[in-house]
Amino acid sequence: MGRQILALVSDAFGGHGGIARYNSDLLCALSHSAAVSRIVALPRMQPEPIGTLPAKVSQLPAIADQIRYSLKAVRLARQMPPGTLLFCGHLLMAPLAGFISRLTGQPLWLQVHGIDAWAKPTDRVRWGARRSDLVTAVSRYTRNQMLANWWDGSTDRIRVLPNTVDTAYSPGPKSPKIIARHGLAGRKVILTVSRLASAERYKGHDYVISALSQLRLDHPDAVYLIVGGGDGVDYLRSVAQTFDVAGHVIFAGKVPHEELPDYFRTADVFVMPSVKEGFGIVFLEAAACGIPVIGGNRDGSVDALADGEIGTLVDPEDPAMIAKAIDRAFKSSPRDGLKAVARFSKQNFEQHVGSIIEDLASGQVETSHGGRRRLEGRVR
């Protein structure tokens, strides 16, 4: 009989953004492990329909209220059988997960992503994180920031488990539907896919718009296509007006997830010069579709672009450098996208997850007390 898992997540199936996709991919990989018999996921958010869940996975209705969520999580944990593994999908949920782990003796696996893990968190969050038997970070950058700024436990307890790219993202022809929808015929298309939240201006859209004003001298047919929604659209419109390129910046808004591969294939280059990216799954998705990719050199984008092997790394706050990189991308030959991102394949991801489960079962991780032991539930 395999191990059961209780997953406390911000969102997963039916969620939006990179963390939701990461959690969904991770739960899928866990469901394929022979060492796992059942997974129960409890999300805080679920804005979209769940769809078809993997075998062994059940996802309960989302609970946004923090108190109700906490009470539900505690009840679920106490109902689960001995040896259940507690998975916490976000650092800010670590206090709750740490409390449940202490209450039930269930071993705790904590997943950390981006900026929330870089600076020193609150005492409550650090307490919960310290109770974790294993921490997986989405990138080397995030792990290094934790070690440098606040983590005082064993370094052996923090491993890197990067994103994986879905097989739906693969090379293909430009989409006539996308071209017609946005008037892209005969245009050189620069693409960014991300949320446009005013709190996430670090994605670098404004620097790409500045670069576009320089690019148009040599590429008058260039257009910047921005996919994503949020309250930051008005700010970017004003930036485009400031640089006199408002007529060459297209806001596509939020698009159905299943259309994203066609958007990538229709673009000539993907650019997101972020400065606070935990990893950046969109880089892999774009590269898998065979288009050149450009990212910033100051954050987890470096991991996603494999230190420059998969794409070009630039100073994210240097429009001239961004413009030169885009110009080179326009002149480059098509790439073998699937080969470029092979290291981030589903198969490799599942192997990494499988090895983590094996190590947890065999005690090959250092506990929060120091030393190594079998994680079959404990009282602390």
Residues 148 and 238 in one domain: no
Give the rounded percent of residues in the chain with a pLDDT score beyond 90: 83
Name which residue leads in pLDDT, 1 or 7.
Answer: 7
Burial of 324 (0-12, 13-18, 19+ CB in 10 A): middle
For residue 356, being part of any structural domain is answered with yes
Asked if residue 279 has pLDDT above 90, the reply is yes
**Three-state secondary-structure class, residue 225:** strand
pLDDT, tens digit (0-9, with 9 covering 90-100), for 107-148 = 999 999 988 899 999 999 999 999 999 999 999 999 999 999
Report the 10 Å Cβ neighbour count for 157: 19
Amino acid at residue number 288? A
For residue 296, being part of any structural domain is answered with yes
Give CA–CA dist 144/214, Å, rounded.
Answer: 36
For residue 76, being part of any structural domain is answered with yes
Over residues 341-356, the mean pLDDT reads 92
Residues 79 and 22 in one domain: yes
DSSP character string of 43-99: ES---S---SPPTTEEEPPP--SHHHHHHHHHHHHHHSPTTPEEEE-SGGGHHHHHH
Give CA–CA dist 246/280, Å, rounded.
Answer: 27
Residues 153 and 83 in one domain: yes
For residue 111, being part of any structural domain is answered with yes
Q: Radius of gyration (Cα) for the chain, nearest Å?
A: 22
Residues 133 and 260 in one domain: no
Residues 191 and 245 in one domain: yes
For residue 104, being part of any structural domain is answered with yes
The DSSP bridge partners found for residue 226 are: 192, 251
Residues 256 and 185 in one domain: yes
User: Please, which contacts does 331-338 make with residues 24 or more away whose CB atoms are closer than 8 Å?
Assistant: 332/292, 334/171, 334/290, 335/287, 335/290, 335/291, 335/292, 336/171, 336/290, 337/169, 337/170, 337/171, 337/287, 337/288, 337/289, 337/290, 337/291, 338/170, 338/171, 338/288
For residue 380, being part of any structural domain is answered with no
pLDDT, tens digit (0-9, with 9 covering 90-100), for 197-236 = 888 889 999 999 999 999 999 999 999 999 999 999 999 9
Pairing of strands 188-193, 158-160: unpaired
Residues 247 and 144 in one domain: no
Confidence of residue 379 (pLDDT cuts 50, 70, 90): very low
Q: Range of 321's domain?
A: 176-340
Burial of 179 (0-12, 13-18, 19+ CB in 10 A): middle
> Can you read off the two tokens belonging to residue 146?
């934790």
User: What is the domain count for the chain?
Assistant: 2
Alpha-carbon torsion, ordered 183, 184, 187, 188, to 10 deg: 140
Residues 214 and 155 in one domain: no
Which pLDDT score is estimated for 17? 82
pLDDT, tens digit (0-9, with 9 covering 90-100), for 281-323 = 999 999 999 999 999 999 999 999 999 999 999 999 999 999 9
Which pLDDT score is estimated for 369? 43
Confidence of residue 340 (pLDDT cuts 50, 70, 90): confident
pLDDT, tens digit (0-9, with 9 covering 90-100), for 157-186 = 999 999 999 999 999 999 999 999 999 999
Residues 183 and 150 in one domain: no
The DSSP bridge partners found for residue 170 are: none
Which pLDDT score is estimated for 363? 66
Which pLDDT score is estimated for 138? 95
Phi, psi of 311, deg, nearest 5 = -155, -175
Which pLDDT score is estimated for 365? 61
Which pLDDT score is estimated for 263? 98
Which pLDDT score is estimated for 141? 94
pLDDT, tens digit (0-9, with 9 covering 90-100), for 27-73 = 999 999 999 999 999 999 988 888 899 999 999 999 999 999 999 99
Confidence of residue 364 (pLDDT cuts 50, 70, 90): low
For residue 373, being part of any structural domain is answered with no
User: Please, which contacts does 94-97 make with residues 24 or more away whose CB atoms are closer than 8 Å?
Assistant: 94/125, 94/127, 94/128, 94/129, 94/131, 94/132, 95/124, 95/125, 95/127, 95/128, 96/8, 96/69, 96/70, 96/128, 97/8, 97/128, 97/131, 97/132
Residues 99 and 217 in one domain: no
Asked if residue 380 has pLDDT above 50, the reply is no
Give CA–CA dist 197/278, Å, rounded.
Answer: 16
Confidence of residue 333 (pLDDT cuts 50, 70, 90): confident
- The CATH number given to whatever domain includes residue 34 is 3.40.50.2000
Which pLDDT score is estimated for 169? 94
Asked if residue 16 has pLDDT above 90, the reply is no
Q: b/e string for 241-278 if b means 16 or more Cβ within 10 A?
A: eebebeebbbbbeebeeeebbbbbbbbbbbbbbbbbbb
Residues 128 and 226 in one domain: no
Q: Give the containing element (helix H, strand E) for 312.
A: strand 312-314
pLDDT, tens digit (0-9, with 9 covering 90-100), for 225-271 = 999 999 999 999 999 999 999 999 999 999 998 999 999 999 999 99
Contacts of 21 (CB under 8 A, 6+ apart): 15, 163, 281
Residues 95 and 119 in one domain: yes
Confidence of residue 377 (pLDDT cuts 50, 70, 90): very low
The mean of the pLDDT values for the chain is 92
For residue 170, being part of any structural domain is answered with no
In degrees, to the nearest 5, what angle opens at C-alpha 177 toward C-alphas 291 and 12? Answer: 65
